Amino acid sequence: MSDDLAAWRPTDTDLFTTYGDAFVPRRREQIATVTDLLADLPSPHVLDLCCGEGLLSEEYLSRTGVGRVTLLDGSSEMLDKAAARLARFAGRWDRVDADIHDREWRRGAYGGVMTSLAVHHLDGPGKRALYRDLRDVLVPGGVFVMADLIEPAGARARNLATVRWDRAVREAGGAAAFAAFSESEWNYFRLPGPDPVDTPSSVAENLAWLGGAGFTGVDVVWLQAGHAIFTATRP
């Protein structure tokens, strides 16, 4: 990650790897949902965009005996953690150290692209360009699945997302996780904004941009505490 784009800091990696199971609402359910949507792909090679510690890849590789993943992240520390996690799947993954904003990595012929909690670092035009490029790196019938923060469409929805996210963290991680969540101001929905680092878009915008990029079967299949899972298929 270049310094000027270093929105994600080493302290974020420390916090997220310590408390991720609490900070991500219903994390296991999200991982299962993403990988459910990646069954029966036209090619078993999947890109894990901003893979972090590789939890999505671990689930995907566990489920499919023939699956392969390309791990992409801008943090070499995260990639090292993912590599350690996936050691038992040697020969079925490779790693790419790249910034999501860049376009050099946007090539290939994947059967699927999965991503969790990263695309919101791109602004609106950045997301639109990403969706067009991802359509082109998927083979026909290939599937894009994105779990991410969404921008609530109004004050009532924002209040609900704020409260529900707090509650989810408290329930999943207890007092220590909630203290870390609060002190680090991790709850995006509580911040006054606009935030230069986290720029989620609304459900409606994401759906329109995915459709505009030429995907079909564009849908939201899961939404909880301001976190949504989208799916889209390359015709």
Q: Which residues bind ligand SAM (CB under 6 A)?
A: 1, 5, 7-8, 16, 20, 50-53, 55, 73-75, 78, 99-101, 116-118, 121
Cα–Cα dist 195/186, whole Å: 12
Minimum Å gap between C-beta 7 and ligand SAM is 6
Minimum Å gap between C-beta 177 and ligand SAM is 15
Cβ closest to ligand SAM, residue 116 vs residue 199: 116
Cβ closest to ligand SAM, residue 23 vs residue 209: 23
Question: Using an 8 Å Cβ cutoff, are 182 and 104 in contact?
Answer: no
Question: Using an 8 Å Cβ cutoff, are 25 and 225 in contact?
Answer: yes
The token pair at 228 is: 């949504």
Minimum Å gap between C-beta 9 and ligand SAM is 9
Minimum Å gap between C-beta 139 and ligand SAM is 23
- Dmax over CA atoms of the chain, in Å, equals 48
Cβ closest to ligand SAM, residue 78 vs residue 213: 78
Cβ closest to ligand SAM, residue 33 vs residue 141: 33
Backbone φ and ψ of 116, nearest 5°: -140, 125
The secondary structure of 159-183 as a DSSP string is: HHHHHHHHHHHHHHHHHHHHHHHHH
Strand-pairing partners, residue 97, are 73
Cβ closest to ligand SAM, residue 47 vs residue 232: 47
Q: What is the side-by-side strand order in the sheet with 138-149?
A: 93-97, 68-73, 45-49, 110-116, 138-149, 227-233, 216-224
Minimum Å gap between C-beta 8 and ligand SAM is 3
- Using CB positions, name the residue nearest to ligand SAM: 52
Cβ closest to ligand SAM, residue 103 vs residue 214: 103
The token pair at 137 is: 């790196």
Cα–Cα dist 151/157, whole Å: 9
The upper half-sphere exposure of residue 92, i.e. CA atoms within 13 Å in the direction of its Cβ, equals: 20
Cβ closest to ligand SAM, residue 120 vs residue 234: 120
The token pair at 189 is: 């929905």
Minimum Å gap between C-beta 121 and ligand SAM is 5
Minimum Å gap between C-beta 154 and ligand SAM is 25
